[in-house]
Amino acid sequence: MLIKKFLMTLLLFFTSSYSYSFDTFVVKNINFNGLQRVSKNSALTYSAINIGDKIDQKKIKSIIHHLYSTKIFENISVSRDKKNLVINVKEKPIIYDIVFSGNKLIKSDVLKTNLVKIGLNNGEILDRSLLFSFKTYLKNFYHNQGKYGTNITTKIDLLPFNYAKITFNFNEGISAKIKNIKILGNSRYNVNDLIPLLNIYHPKFSFRNILANNDYNKQKLADALENLRNFYLNNGYIKFKVKSVRVRLSSNKKEAYITINIHEGDRYKVVSFKTNNDLIKNELMNSKQFQKDFINQYYNQENIINFQKKIKDTLDQLNYPNPKININSTINDSKKNIDLYLDVDLRNKYKVHRISFKGNYLSQDSVLRREIQQKEGDYLKNKLIQQGETSLKNTGYFETVNTIVKKANKSNDSVDIIYQVKEKKTGLFNLGLGYSKGQGVNFELNILKDNIFGSGNLISFVGTKDSNQKYGEFLFKKNGSIFSKNFNIENRIFYNTFQGNHKTFIDYEKDSYGANINLNMPVFNNTQQINIGLDYLHNHLKSISFQVPMWYYLQTFRHLNPDEKAPELITKDFLINYGWHVNMLDNKFLPNSGSEIGLDGKITLPYSDNKFHKVELNFKNYLPLNKKNEWILFNHGHVGYGYGFQKKFMPFYENFYIGGFKTIRGFRTNSLGPKGVYFRKTPGCTNEKNKDSAFCLTKNAVGGNAVFSNSFELIFPTPFLSNQDLYPLRTSLFVDFGTIWDTQWVNTKTAKDAQIPNYNNEYKKVRCSAGIAITWISPIGPLSMSYAKPIKYYEDDAIENFQLTLGKTW
């Protein structure tokens, strides 16, 4: 604003200086030169002058001032032609377009949004002073980011009809790199121990230093100083302070040298911690853990902050949602100790008078209300309000959810709660294309409508196709609640055709169709879910190549001679499926912390043709290693087991498989473990170890009924990529290992004579690989690449070092 006023003053000064000087006269006519978009009548109105007015030098300045105040004109002069007044103007151009070139740090849509906020937008009058101010703001922003060599120029191209095109040209240059940090004033700790705490510079050579982003900017330095301050305050140095910070730039502004001057002070112990509140004293402060954490311990600010949070949570559970909490300290410098005093004002309890919703134009109130844990008539609890807000966000129906708590009808002891939501589109039509080496090119069609007619229910159709199978399903999911517990019921019908091949699967064809109904119910504050359901499956097996485990399976249905052709088989099964899932991840696509556990199983019911039970456990855990979640330890595991009962085998098509991107990278997808063994020679089947044997061993993996796999990954900042948060990209080093075996394998004398491996003991053959992986959430779906080197492998294992998965796979 100061710049704008200064420019306006200059304009007025120079304009009045170059206007004609003349005696007072009565104007008979007023003429304007230079008008384009503005009409003469409008210009007369703006100038506040009429025919017949007396004109003098003061009036001339007033005319110029009024015209400039409209912000329409950028050059004005006034002259006299006898009794006529001539006003020469130049109108400011209209912005036709604004374009950006060379900007990488700030996205173009962010720049445009900020320009709109200050009044520079397509169709608006071009104000050069605003343009100058915005350019200055941008330079300051880049300087704060450590890019001192940034050059920003603006070009204004005048177009016909007084339009203008504005071009911002950015030459961002490179950020100044931190080359050295000095810490002065430290005596308690070695500088080599303090500098790593800053987390912005690592003087010693290390893998972390190679990958670290050591660009200098003011916010990073502020965060670093806060880290240093917290370290001292958490170790008893209550009087610690940063006295000064000096940043020196090299002559080319590419290197930054930082000097931090600190005052450590003395180390203090807490000798007493008292309170005026008996409730808190009895609930929290009389415990042995409290005495252990605080009394006769060095002052620790982090522990005190956490204790304040614990007090608030405790009081919230006791129906005191808004307490006032102060912790005061009395410092004894001679004894180097501290007395802490907790002052608690409980304030009022509040009952919830009414809960209402705003912004849900489509969604029914009942759909939102069942997500709310806080109930009308109960005491107000912040935790329940937050849980309700989180539950509404997790439905996926709303872009934003905000909560307002206000007094009800001027009452001092009751409140109204208003959940303000902004609905979003919940329909989906998706055509997907993916690729993986194991399955080749795959296609997907997904049509989904969630929250249909605002009921909270969902319908969907999914169709997929890859090199082995075609699959289609229709799903209807109904959400509801009973006894204040949410649930949903899923009804699904499906059809599937599967055709094996010699590369990755055993040879058979299977046509399936069926239906199921599942009841899913969240428990434990919606962080866990249990489900139980009933399935019906109709399977038609055909074109079976007579492989030994298949023969054992088919034998349980009818007696077969190994020399005869494998028959077709139709099975009809009823199954109970069950599951327990825990999801505490902080992000759906690229989590930084939390865990996810899934236990799933199914078992056949009486009157089913098959008799088997299958169960598997999947778990994931993300452990951040620093506060910025740049370094994360990730662990993923899978355990599965299935068996037949009542003299039946688990169907071979229910087998587990490992190898490839989701299990053990560096090996071909689904290629590890037991191999296909046939009764007679078939194309591509040999037994070089014993050519006279009745058995023939292939290299085709057939899976097993027991599996274990695990993976450890170190996720780290992607090298050479600044502003990691702007890119949905993740890089990691990993170690994968696992094994698969078949407890249903019958190790007969014939098999031993043929030197067929005992697949019952295959669990001893653990495969292991290590490598590097990159995952990118691209606009067309997740893209994952890995390069792995097998560490432990066996003869006939199919090695595949580089692997790529693009798009959604199934």
Which DSSP string do the residues of 552-619 spell out, in sequence order?
HHHHTTS---TTSPPPPEEEEEEEEEEEEEEE--S-SSS--SEEEEEEEEEEEPTT-S--EEEEEEEE
Full set of structural domains in the chain with CATH: 2-91 (3.10.20.310), 94-171 (3.10.20.310), 177-263 (3.10.20.310), 269-345 (3.10.20.310), 351-423 (3.10.20.310), 431-806 (2.40.160.50)
- Cα torsion 744, 747, 748, 750 to 10°: value is 120
CB distance 192 to 271 below 8 Å: no
Q: Which of 8-12, 452-456, 478-482, 580-584 has the highest mean pLDDT?
A: 580-584
Residue 433: its pLDDT value, please? Answer: 64
Average pLDDT for residues 177-197, to the nearest whole number? 90
The burial of 52, by beta-carbon neighbours within 10 Å (0-12 exposed, 13-18 middle, 19 or more buried), is given as: exposed
Name which of 357, 356, 367, 358 is nearest 452 in CA terms: 367
Each residue's pLDDT tens digit, 2-42: 444 444 444 444 444 344 455 788 878 888 888 888 888 88
Please give the share of the chain, as a percent, with pLDDT higher than 70.
Answer: 88
In the predicted structure, residue 232 carries a pLDDT above the cut 90:
yes
Residue 484: its pLDDT value, please? Answer: 62
DSSP symbol at 42: H
Q: How confident is the model at residue 417 (pLDDT cuts 50, 70, 90)?
A: very high
Contact partners, residue 272, CB within 8 Å, separation at least 6: 295, 339, 340
Say if pTM beats, i.e. exceeds, 0.85: no
Q: Classify strands 163-171 and 94-101 as parallel, antiparallel or unpaired.
A: parallel
Residue 237: its pLDDT value, please? Answer: 95
Distance CA 102, CA 99 (A): 10
Average pLDDT for residues 561-587, to the nearest whole number? 86
Name which of 438, 443, 433, 439 is nearest 464 in CA terms: 443
In the predicted structure, residue 781 carries a pLDDT above the cut 70:
no
Q: How confident is the model at residue 440 (pLDDT cuts 50, 70, 90)?
A: low
In the predicted structure, residue 215 carries a pLDDT above the cut 90:
no
Residue 439: its pLDDT value, please? Answer: 61
Residue 796: its pLDDT value, please? Answer: 82
Pick 679 or 215 by higher pLDDT: 215
* Range 305-334 burial, b when 16+ CB lie within 10 A, else e: eebeeebbeebbebebbbbebebeeeeeee
Residue 436: its pLDDT value, please? Answer: 55
Contact partners, residue 591, CB within 8 Å, separation at least 6: 585, 620, 622
CB distance 303 to 289 below 8 Å: no
Each residue's pLDDT tens digit, 146-184: 888 888 999 999 888 888 899 999 988 788 888 899 999
Distance CA 436, CA 443 (A): 11
Distance CA 776, CA 731 (A): 9
Q: How confident is the model at residue 554 (pLDDT cuts 50, 70, 90)?
A: confident
Residue 338: its pLDDT value, please? Answer: 94
Instruction: Give the pair of three-digit tokens for residue 242.
Output: 């940063």
Comparing 25-39, 355-369, 495-509, the range with the smallest average pLDDT is 495-509
